Structures are given as C-alpha cells and as structure tokens.
Structure 1
Amino acid sequence: MLGLRFTNFDPNEGSQDKFQQLLNLFLQLLTYTNGDFSEAMDWMNQLDRQYGLTNDEYGMGDFIDELKEKGYIDENPVNGSIKITGKTEQGIRKSSLEEIFGKLKKTKQGNHNTFKPGQGDELNAETRPFIFGDMMEQIDFTESIRNAQINHGIDSFRMQEDDLLIRETDYKSQTSTVLMIDISHSMILYGEDRITPAKKVAMALSELITTKYPKDTLDIVVFGNDAWPIEIKDLPYLQVGPYHTNTVAGLELAMDILRRRKNQNKQIFMITDGKPTCLKIGKRYYKNSFGLDRKVVNRCINLAAQCKKLKIPITTFMIASDPYLQRFVQEFTEMNQGKAFFASLDKLGAFIFKDFESGKRKTVF
C-alpha cells in the first residue's frame, strides 16, 4: 500500500493561464456593455494600463488573436468589424451561472426528481420480476440471462418468463418555464444599474434550465410598455428602453405561452425592480410613475390570482431595495402563493428567500 507523497509547492500549479484570466474578465465586461465587443475591449485596455493585466510575453493583441482562433469572436472581412459569436454568448451565460448560483447551498428545492418508479428517464439500481404488460425495452437482458443460467444451468440453457427481470426507472417531471425580464427605464433610474444584475440572473437561470433540465421548455419574455418574446441568445444584448413597466402585459403573454405548453408543470420567473407603472387599455396606454397606482397594481394582483388557479407559481427576483416596492412584491407573491428573492445589487450570490407556502424565512447563500 502506498503512503502519502509530498512534493514541492508550486504557486502557479493549477492556476489559470493568461488567456483564461483575461477571458473571465472579458465575459464580465460584455455583460455591462450589452455584448459590444469594441466597448468591452476599450475597458480591457484601460484596466490593462491601470493594473497591468498583460506583460511582455502576452499582450492584448495576443489575447484578441486567441479569441479569433478559439471561435469567441468573428471578424467581418469586408469592413473589419468584430462581433462576438454564439460560443461567447454561452460563455457569458455560464459565467453568470457560476457567479449567481455557484455559492448557493445544495438543496432539493427546484429539483425535478420524484420518488415514483416507472417509465421515466433515468435507470436506477432496482430490478423486479417481469409481469404482464411490461414493455420489452424495460427488460434487463444481462441480468435476465444471468438469472436463466442460475435457474436452468449452462448446459441446458433456456429462458422463461420467470427468468426475466425489469430494470426500474426514476420518473423525472418536465416543466415549462417562462422567464420575464423588466427592461423599463426604471431599471437604470437614479444612477442605479439594475439591468446588468437582472441580465446576470436571467442568463444564470436560462443556463441552469437548458443544461440541467434539457427536456424542459424555456421561453423568455421582456416587458416595457408592451411585452414580446426573445431568444436565449439575445440575453447578453438586452438594453433598457424609454419604457414604463407594463407588468400586466408581461404576465398575460407568459400565461398565453404556458397555455400552449403540454407539460403539466408550469412556472413563471419574473425579474423586475418591482414597480408596475403602465397598462394598455384598448389602444391607449395608462401610465403613472408616481408611487404605486392601485389601478395598475390591482390588475397585477388579479393576474397573480389567476395564475394560482391555473397552478402556475410565480417566482419573483426583486432587483431593488425600496421598502414600498418590496411590500408590493410581498402582496403579489402572497396572492399567487409563489416565491420571492430580494437581491441587493452588490451581492447577487445571496438572496433573502421567502417561501409563502411554508411561512419560513431564510437566507440562501
């Protein structure tokens, strides 16, 4: 038996190379610049001058060349313009996932697994005897042949119904999710950049759902004065517009999408600063940015109740700390019996989690 083996400590062993270090920073900056390569590189050069990110052996030009070689950027041969590729877009989402959820405690909440055996997606270690009605693809032929050899011997090998064993599978429920993102002007109001944290949470959620639960469906809806669907690849480029917050339009579109989904389990994730300010009545927009307008709020509360009747829980990610906005989110969430996460702008890794079904309050890291 070998004992412990000691070697000299090397501080550089296991550390990221220069390209990976710069790439991590580059992906972060792309989130803040809405996917603009030129602006992100301007920031990179400024940070390089201030903090010495590069050296004589590896310069910023080497970094750009490596980005091209590895497929992170694409240069237009006609005008020389450079754009990020789908590989970079996915890298931004993965980076957001690691940042937002990397430090969360492991929990069973949100897991799709159930304790019911049956015709599911994943095999488990349990087997049982064959019974009439079992499907051929459920038979574990390796164990069944072994069983037949034990029961009848190798010389007179034969297989009977009593020799067949069925491999149990774990059923994994499938969920249809609509992710709503607030892109109203209030998301950058008073000098607070709320849209960047919102995009990070959105990209983290989308990457989590598409990678861990690939059989689920995910639709993304943005809402300002109106609401419209976008694709996952559009998330890094999202920008705030000169819009009010028509939360009602976003919820109505989300509900309409989920009605067409065949999965039994459905849910809505809503990322917002929590203040609805707009309604569309016919062709006219009813707007009020001062305080919480009960005419607008009541429509939101009514939709939360409708979602509850349809068994569609709403999880709200609140990117604001104003007490009166949090009170609205509390009222909205209680009506739906959903969940709410209140996230500070400087520490998205920790949410104050409210579970209105159990009435418990705890902090999730």
Structure 2
Amino acid sequence: MKGFVFSEFRPDEGKPPFQRLLDMFMELLQYTSGDASEALNWLTQLDRQYGLTNDDYGIGDFIEDLKNNGYLEEQPLDGRFRITAKTEQGIRQRSLDEIFGKLKKTKSGNHRTNKTGQGDELNPETRSYEFGDALETIDFTGSIRNSLINHGIDQLSMHQEDLEIYETDFKTQTSTVLMIDISHSMILYGEDRITPAKKVAMALSELITTRYPKDTLDIVVFGNDAWQITMKDLPYLEVGPYHTNTVAGLELAMDILRRRKNQNKQIFMITDGKPTCLKIGGKYYKNSFGIDSKIL
C-alpha cells in the first residue's frame, strides 16, 4: 500500500507572475496586520533570497499592477502604501478558501431547519393544497392519482381537493457575535497565535456574509476591556499589552444579542487560554498564574 510521498515544493508555474506574487502578498498582509509597506518590504527580501521575479517582471512592475488593479493606494503625504477595500475583501475570501475549502456562494443562503414552512427546499412529504400555496410545489403525480381515485378513469377531472403539494423546509435567520482575544498571550514566547485567529475570523465572517446574507454578524475584541470592531478592521487587528478579560467580552456579546430580534443567537469565541482579568468597579483584578476562582 502506498503511503504519503514528500517531495520538494514547486510553486504553480502556470500562474502569471502577477498572480503568483499577489498570492504571497495577500498572505504577508495577514502577518503585518494590513501594513502594505511592510508586506512589500518582506516580499522584496524574499525575492532577493529566492529569486521570485526576473528581468521581465520585477517587484516594481508588481507594485504598479497592484495600483492599476485597485489593490493598492499610495498616500500623497508620506508616500506610504495602503491597501484598498478590494484587498480587504480578497484577504477574507482567501482565508475562507484556505480554511473551509472552495465554497460557492448560494442563491438564498439561509439556514435549514427541521420545521416545515415557507421556503425553497422541497422535501418528500406532501399535504393537501390550500389557497395561497405556490403552484410550483404541486405534486402532479399524487394529484392525478387522487383525481383518478375520486372521479374514476372514465371521466378525468381535477378539483382543488385532488391537489397535493410538497412541503418545503422553512429557513431561518441567525444573529452571530464573533469574539476575538487580542491579549498579549496571543504572541507570547514568540508563538504567533493572532494570525491564525485572524484567518479563522475572516473566513467565518466571509462565510456568514456571503452564504447567509440575511444573518447579522457583530465582531467583538477583548483584552482588559471589550469593544466592537467592523469586519473591515479584521486584517489590521493587532494584539496589545492586555490581559484576558473574557467576562467583558461575553457581557458585550450578550448585550449585542439582546438587541437583535432574531430568536436564533450564537457566540463564537477565538482565544488561546484561560481568563486572567476581571474589572471590578473601576479597577482591574489580574492574575496570570494558575486558575483563579475569583476570575472564573
């Protein structure tokens, strides 16, 4: 039986130079928290070390193509580069593809339930036709059978009481709050946990907004305190000199969900460990050592 075979990594030579460099640039942006100038600097260093470009197409050409294609803007005051909304959306989409696979956008994007009701997902169960039911849900085979039973084969006629329709699965909406830990432990001891956390957050937000557009999504970050951010802020997210006040994050998340009118509500939390901080009155109680029952 043939097992795993490891070989030297060979990049996709079939891609145009711009596309190959764009893939690397998008990946580097997640490590630089959206700092385009720093990402380009890293890309230049990689080019010098590994020969990513050639005489026909260099880093300068790549930067010009980024600007021409709407991925990059140059600030007039200091000359620094800044990524655009197109790049931000591209980063989220790439995170979605990387984590969840090649997912396609759906037409309606609502959540299935085990309840019957108005929807566009037919199921095998049928019931009698009622005024107002959609004609496209009629079970013609069952309706003709009922007509033959009720009126005989010699005089074929169809009445309302003969009609059967397929039940449809009701689809519902969900309100989601995504919590992200930005405490110092997310980069402690040289271990980068915030970049994978951002990737998951961007993938999840892109999945919800594209596949379930009728849902609501709110994003909360928490350290010593908790506050809301927008989806476009995710690529720029950085950790701070904070402890982990999970209670503050949960309180804000639940407060947001209380204001949502959907009955289906959920909280996703991305964190690397235990709570280490609690705000009591106007002061912070902190303990990074062991399990503190006061915080928990």
Q: TM-score range by the shorter chain?
A: 0.7 to 0.9
Which letter does structure 2 place at the counterpart of 1:71?
A: G
Distance 2:12 2:102 in 1: 24
CA shift in 2, pair 1:13/1:280, >3 Å: closer
1:279-325 deviation digits (Å, cap 9, x = unpaired): 1111111111222211101xxxxxxxxxxxxxxxxxxxxxxxxxxxx
- Structure ranking higher on relative contact order (CA contacts 8 Å, 6+ apart): 2
Which whole-Å CA distance do the structure 1 matches of 2:160 and 2:73 have between them?
61
Read off the aligned partner of 1:44 and give its amino acid letter. L
Q: Which residue of 2 aligns with 1:140?
A: 136
Kindly provide the amino acid, as one letter, of the partner of residue 14 in structure 2. S
Partner of 1:131: 129
Deviation string, structure 1 residues 230-267 (Cα, Å, up to 9, x no partner): 11110000011111110000011111111122222211
**Are 2:32 and 1:39 equivalent residues in the alignment?**
no
Q: Provide structure 2 residue ranges, at least 5 long, that are not aligned to the other structure.
A: 1-9, 104-109, 149-156
Q: Aligned partners of 1:12, 1:218: CA distance in 2, in Å? A: 36
Task: Give the direction of change, closer, same or farther, for the CA distance of 1:163–1:20 in structure 2 (3 Å limit).
Answer: farther
Q: Deviations over 1:136-193 (max 9, x none)?
A: 6x2339999xx99x99xxxxxx997468775653322322111100011111111111
2:294 equivalent to 1:295: yes
Residue 215 of structure 1 aligns to a residue whose secondary structure is coil
Task: For residue 101 of structure 1, report the CA deviation from its aligned partner.
Answer: 2.5
The aligned amino acid for 2:58 is G
Change in 2 beyond 3 A, CA 1:32/1:68? same
Paired residue type of 2:216: T
> 2:266 is matched with which residue?
267
Asked if structure 2 preserves the Cα contact closer than 8 Å seen for 1:139 and 1:167, the reply is no
Shift of residue 75, structure 1, vs aligned partner: 2.3
CA distance in 1, matches of 2:136, 2:205: 36
Task: Give the match for residue 52 of structure 1.
Answer: 51
Q: Distance in 1 between matches of 2:269 and 2:123?
A: 39
Q: Percent identity?
A: 68
Contact 1:139 1:164 in 2 (8 A): no
Asked if 2 retains the 8 angstrom alpha-carbon contact of 1:246 and 1:277, the reply is: yes
Question: When the two structures are superposed, what TM-score results if normalisation uses the length of structure 1?
Answer: 0.66
Q: How does 1:1-365 map to 2 (within 5 A)?
A: 15-102=14-101, 112-120=111-119, 122-124=120-122, 131-132=129-130, 134-135=131-132, 138-140=134-136, 161=160, 168-297=167-296
Q: Is 1:141–1:164's contact at 8 Å kept on the other side of the alignment?
A: no
Supply the RMSD in Å over aligned alpha carbons: 3.1
- Native 8 Å contact 2:129 2:164 kept in 1: no
Once residues 95 and 17 of structure 1 are traced to their aligned partners in structure 2, the CA distance between those partners, rounded to angstroms, is 18
Letter in 2 for 1:124: L
Distance in structure 2 (CA, Å) of the matches to 1:72 and 1:35? 12
Contact kept? 2:178, 2:218, Cα under 8 Å: yes
- Report the CA distance shift for 1:239/1:18 in structure 2 as closer, same or farther (over 3 A): same
For residues 296 and 237 of structure 1, what CA distance do their matches in structure 2 show? 30
Aligned in 2, Cα 1:65/1:164: closer, same or farther, shift over 3 Å?
farther
